Amino acid sequence: MASVREGNIDEKHIDQRDRILDHQLNGLPPSGPKPRTVFSFATPLDLAIIAVSCLAAIVAGGLNPLLTVLYGQLVGSMNAFQNGTISGTTFKADIARFTLYYVYLGIGLFVSVYITTVGFYYTGERMTRTLRRTYLRAIIGQNIAFFDTLGAGELTTRITADITQIQEAITGNLSVSLTAAATFVSAYVIAFVEYWKLALILTSTVVVLTVTGAVGVALPVKWTKQSLALESRSATVAEEAISAITHVTACGIQEKLVQRYDDQLKPAQRPGLKAGIVTALMIGMVNAVPYLSYGLSFWEGSRLLVRGEMSVSGVTTSTLAIVIGAWAVGRVAPNAKSFISSIASAAAILDAIARESPQDPFTEEGSRPESAAHDISFRNVHLAYPSRREVTVLHDLSLVVPASKTTALVGASGCGKSSIIGLLERFYSPIRGEIWLGDHNIQSLNLHWLRSQISLVGQEPQLFNTTIFENIVYGLAGDADSIPAETLQKLVEDAAIKANAHDFISDLPRGYQTDVGERGTQLSGGQKQRICIARAIIKNPQILLLDEATSALDVSAERSVQTALAVASQGRTTIVIAHRLSTVRDADNIVVMDDGRIVEQGTHDELMARNGRYAELVQKQQMSSESTPREDIDSQHTDPEKPSDKGSDDPEDASQPGEDPSTTSAPASETATWGNLTNTITIIERLGRPETMLTLVGTLLAIVAGLSVPAQSIIFAKLIDALSFTPAYHLRNSVDFWSLMYLAMGLGIFVVWLAHGVIFAYTTEKLVHRARTQCFRHILRQDVAFFHQEQNSTGALTSLLASAPTDLKGLSGPVLGAILTFLATIVGGIVLSLVIGWKLALVCTATIPLVAGFGWVRLAMLNWFAEKMKATHQDSAAYASEAVSAIRTVSSLTLERRVLQQYDRIIFRQSAAAVRSILQASTFYALSQSITLWCAGLAFWYGGGLLATHEYTVVQFFICFAALISGAQTAGVIFSYAPGMSKAMGAARDLRALFERRPAIDTWDAAGQAVDKATGTGRIEFRNVSFSYPARRERVVVDRFNLTIQPGHFVALVGASGCGKSTLIALLERFFDPTAGQILVDGRDITTLDVASYRRAIALVGQEPTLFSGTIRENLRLGTEDDVSDEDMVQACVQANIYDVIMSLPDGFATDLGSKGVMLSGGQKQRLAIARALLRQTPILLLDEATAALDSRSEAMVQEALNQASAKRTTIAVAHRLSTIQHADVICVLDGGRMVEMGTHSELMRRGGVYAGMVQMQCGP
């Protein structure tokens, strides 16, 4: 009986575990209806404007079929004049009257089109602004598990390319569809009024079009959605690579990442091509059916005419009305692809918006106790992560964290220390057990309130791309808005002083207003960490969480900050995670963990007396500070220079040698040149060169399709003329023949449109795919200085990557085919008309430039407008991407509302600029549409006069009129593609600027001397090296630095944060070139070496480990020249003390690490990065705080592995933990970019200088 009961309990726990993990991974079951369409985000004002715009669109569409009534009556009048039924005077009066009607209709069309365009553009901008905001709110409101599988690149794609596509569907496609629907209804009403039998017969053609359209839209939606989902995965690869560009550059893995990106993109082509083929089939039917309608209508109409049931004008009006109705259905076809894409894009976005987070920071639900100063109790807590549910991270953990006391968590990396903090922040939920704050289960507390009581400083400092001042103010979250400016300034400075950051901030040229750059790239690791500490303590939290908070600090800074944190911890509940055990010896309770369980706890003295696990860790971390003699320093080392006074540190030349001028903005004249149509087509041709033959065939077919329009004008004119023939059999024979010609033309045109549509669908998929890959390749080609520029943030570049290749579709594929078709129609119509009747041809041709002129002005205005919008979209996308990339920091600081407020400000500026441009551009668009009617009126007036004087026949008139007015209308239709063309030109300019940019340090330049790492000795010389970063040239970071490092030596660089240690590493890696002096490796100036092969001879392990989405095996193989064997991987992992962790995972080396390696702890990520560096087998090894994130046991083992690895290679180590470098051959102490001491550990300790003082501070009492 007991076993049955235990089985039921286990089954209950399993069900509970799965339910909790599913909710974290997939969200809660929906509590209400989700938004079904983007119109759910329209305000009452938007809906009112849309209603007026819809009415205007219906009026605009309804006006077009009225022309068929005028046209039919004119044909009837001409027929009567030709048969002598009316006089020439009456005929001229009819012509004048009908011409005036054309003018009136043109005015009505101008007004209605203007209202339609302005209304839809305005509401489209407002609605998508709300959609962008709502989408970002939904994303940053999700629980952390959601982001384990979502990359920031996917968000950038959704919020830029996808929502822009939705906006285009609202602003352009919707108005076109409504106008087309109104035209269709109006045309059929006219046709049925004229003669219902003929209209009913011709309805069959419309049924064919409707069915074709329904199928042609429904099927591609699914395929396009699949394509977009696959493309979004590639965006994550891009975002990871760009955000970790220094690591990518150091490892030389640009081409491997490009290949990975390309592999992610390739599957997206197949569903995209399927959608294109079906769309081509639909467009072929849409263009063929009107010809079939003409043939059927005239054939049946001639019989009705002979029987006396219809008049000539009735046949003409009904025929033209039905065809216009059919064409109206066809007008949706060019927009079908945009519709399909926007529907698929909207579906993915609406799904994300509808996802209900199990941890919603925006909810007002939950308790808000008066104080958080209570004990924290973990009661039998079990934890598994949703993306790795088979691994239990915490096992039945029970722990009490006393209020107002300091509790330290220590233990090996991956033992569950950071998981405890994640649970307390409610980043994740336990699968069993409970966590209590006083008398409240934390799951019952309001999430925003809970996190507002907590300050967290993580082991990987996260800063935002703004000023130092703003970064510290973020610690106050929403409270900052209500604080007076002077008080706020004092709060910020006090926090910085406590965090030992005020002095270095004050030394910066702009002080607290200094921009830190993306992810804080303008600051050193220690400087970033101190700003994060200031941000954490500014709000005086009741609970303070320190996860390796001082790991990136130098000895002096660590001691100062540790003292400040000790003071800050008084009176508040503090949980400290530390690997440097000297920083937690004064904790009230030290908890030792192993494999998700507590193995020891007590005070430092109690645990040392117990001589257990903690004592063992302490002994491993003890540092020797004796001053035993050791051999003298190598005589070849240059004596260090004493630091000089401030003011003499400026190098002679502040510019980067060989710096590419294109690192700054392109000149306006070049921008204008690159933005023109010719260069756009040049870029498209260059990218589409492999498909040149297919493109030529498609172009030829497009021209044939275009020439069919003037060709059909001959058939149309012959049929109009045949309707006046007598006797009846002559009329019937002539009409039958020309109707058969329409049938043949319709079948031929179907084949032509289908073939050229399929060809262009294929070439477009290839073009966009190639453009994306090349864009990504050229981004990764750039030097590190390029990424330090404000306009080249990760968000801006991923936005460019997402939108620019897609925007090229505005002048490629189906659009290019349509434009070529329309141009062929215009040119063919002009040539044919000049041959048939040159007088009327010249008059009609003169109207085409007017239509084209207004359209071109509109295009130019849209181009200018698109440039302004692109910059704003990139700014907003960069901001959103940054927020999502740092989502744990945003969540812990409760910055969600502040992020939304700032995002609102950015996109509101965009909307305000849009309205002014819309009003101007819409005027010219409306003129380009209405002027066609005025031109048709002119043609009727002048051509009617020629008919009245018998100078022209009916056949001549209708050939010229049909061919040239169709050409004028086509000119107007061409510019309906103006928005897409404008974006394509902007995209082409941006891509060309990127493609033609030659970085100063170019990995593609093979002109330098090749480096063979197998023969390199690793001798390094710094000769009088000075350096200033391009963004802050006035500040000298390295000042006349001299050092010679012998092959195989281990050299350590130590000193305060910001003293130039990591900069020397960057210079050696050639991320930058010195502003003065030389760096030599094996006797050769590194600026004369081939960059790519030179970097292959160096391995770098940075202080912030960088991993990529993918498996452990894939991450290890990144950076190696050839595929390494499994044996080599195992050996490297064993050396780096990560092999046992890997093998404990269910999938071993095949374990997927998630975005940026989120599945591993900080220490585990660092050890994996070390293993990857060891696999490179290089003569030079650079360690920039390589063991900072490791626990004592792992550090000792990895340090031993690094010592063994260093035995055969030259090693330069940057370190704050002086215990890790005490056995170095040479220790260089830096201050202010200069060397102030140099020697072995023993020599420097005997000297009793700066280094000895640092050691004493780190060893403690």
- Give, in order, the Cα–Cα distances in Å from 898 to each of 355, 493, 512: 22, 22, 20
Nearest to 579 by CA among 1217, 24, 1260: 1217
Q: Is the pLDDT of residue 890 over 50?
A: yes
Judged by DSSP in three states, 854 sits in: helix
Each residue's pLDDT tens digit, 944-984: 888 888 888 888 888 888 787 766 666 556 666 766 777 78
Which residues make beta-bridge pairs with 438?
none
Q: Which of 38-47, 425-434, 1185-1194 has the lowest mean pLDDT?
A: 1185-1194
More confident residue, 462 or 83: 462
Q: Is the pLDDT of residue 184 over 60?
A: yes
- Give, in order, the Cα–Cα distances in Å from 435 to each of 58, 588, 742: 62, 21, 80
User: Using 50, 70 and 90 to split pLDDT, how confident is the model at 420?
Assistant: very high
Which amino acid would we find at residue 902? Q
Q: Are 592 and 600 in contact (CB under 8 A)?
A: yes
Which amino acid would we find at residue 772? R
Which residues make beta-bridge pairs with 1118?
none
Q: Are 643 and 1236 in contact (CB under 8 A)?
A: yes
Q: Which of 218-222, 809-813, 859-863, 980-984 has the lowest mean pLDDT?
A: 859-863
Tokens of 1191: 């626990």
Which pLDDT score, from 0 to 100, does residue 666 have?
36
Q: Would you mind telling me the total number of residues written for the chain in this entry?
A: 1261
Instruction: Give the C-alpha separation, 256 to 261, whole Å.
Output: 9
651: phi then psi, degrees, rounded to nearest 5: -70, 165
Q: Are 221 and 341 in contact (CB under 8 A)?
A: no
- Pairing status of strand 406-411 against strand 573-577: parallel
Q: What is the mean pLDDT of residues 178-194?
A: 85
Instruction: Give the C-alpha separation, 911 to 872, whole Å.
Output: 10
- Pairing status of strand 1076-1081 against strand 1084-1085: antiparallel
- Pairing status of strand 1076-1081 against strand 1226-1231: unpaired
Mean pLDDT of the chain: 80
Q: What is the mean pLDDT of residues 176-195?
A: 84
Sheet order of strands, 406-411 included: 454-457, 543-547, 573-577, 406-411, 589-594, 597-602
User: How many Cβ atoms from other residues are within 10 Å of residue 523's Cβ?
Assistant: 25
Task: Give the position of tokens 């900050």.
Answer: 561
Does the domain made of 42-358+669-995 have the CATH classification 3.30.160.60?
Answer: no
User: Using 50, 70 and 90 to split pLDDT, how confident is the model at 638?
Assistant: very low
Q: Which of 221-225, 958-962, 1211-1215 has the lowest mean pLDDT?
A: 221-225
Q: Is the pLDDT of residue 752 over 90?
A: yes
User: Using 50, 70 and 90 to split pLDDT, how confident is the model at 613?
Assistant: confident
Tokens of 1245: 């300790």
Does the domain made of 376-605 have the CATH classification 3.40.50.300?
Answer: yes
Instruction: Give the C-alpha separation, 1093 to 1010, whole Å.
Output: 6
Each residue's pLDDT tens digit, 505-528: 998 888 899 888 777 777 877 788
Sign of the alpha-carbon dihedral angle for 184, 186, 189, 195: negative
Judged by DSSP in three states, 388 sits in: strand
Q: What is the mean pLDDT of residues 51-61?
A: 91
The angle subtended at Cα 384 by Cα 381 and Cα 386, nearest 5°, is 135
Each residue's pLDDT tens digit, 296-335: 888 888 888 888 888 888 888 888 887 788 777 766 655 5
Q: Is the pLDDT of residue 233 over 80?
A: no
User: Using 50, 70 and 90 to split pLDDT, how confident is the model at 782?
Assistant: very high
More confident residue, 660 or 748: 748
Which pLDDT score, from 0 to 100, does residue 777 have?
93
Which pLDDT score, from 0 to 100, does residue 633 have?
34
Which pLDDT score, from 0 to 100, does residue 56 have?
93
User: Using 50, 70 and 90 to split pLDDT, how confident is the model at 645?
Assistant: very low
Which of the given ranges, 140-144, 643-647, 778-782, 931-935, has the highest pLDDT on average? 778-782
User: Using 50, 70 and 90 to split pLDDT, how confident is the model at 1174?
Assistant: confident
Instruction: Give the C-alpha separation, 452 to 478, whole Å.
Output: 10
Sign of the alpha-carbon dihedral angle for 52, 58, 64, 70: negative
Which pLDDT score, from 0 to 100, does residue 1042 have?
93
Classify residue 1242 by burial, with Cβ atoms within 10 Å: 0-12, 13-18, 19+: middle
Which of the given ranges, 610-619, 665-674, 850-859, has the highest pLDDT on average? 610-619
Sign of the alpha-carbon dihedral angle for 247, 250, 251, 255: positive
Q: Where are the domains of the chain?
A: 42-358+669-995, 376-605
Which residues make beta-bridge pairs with 376?
401, 437
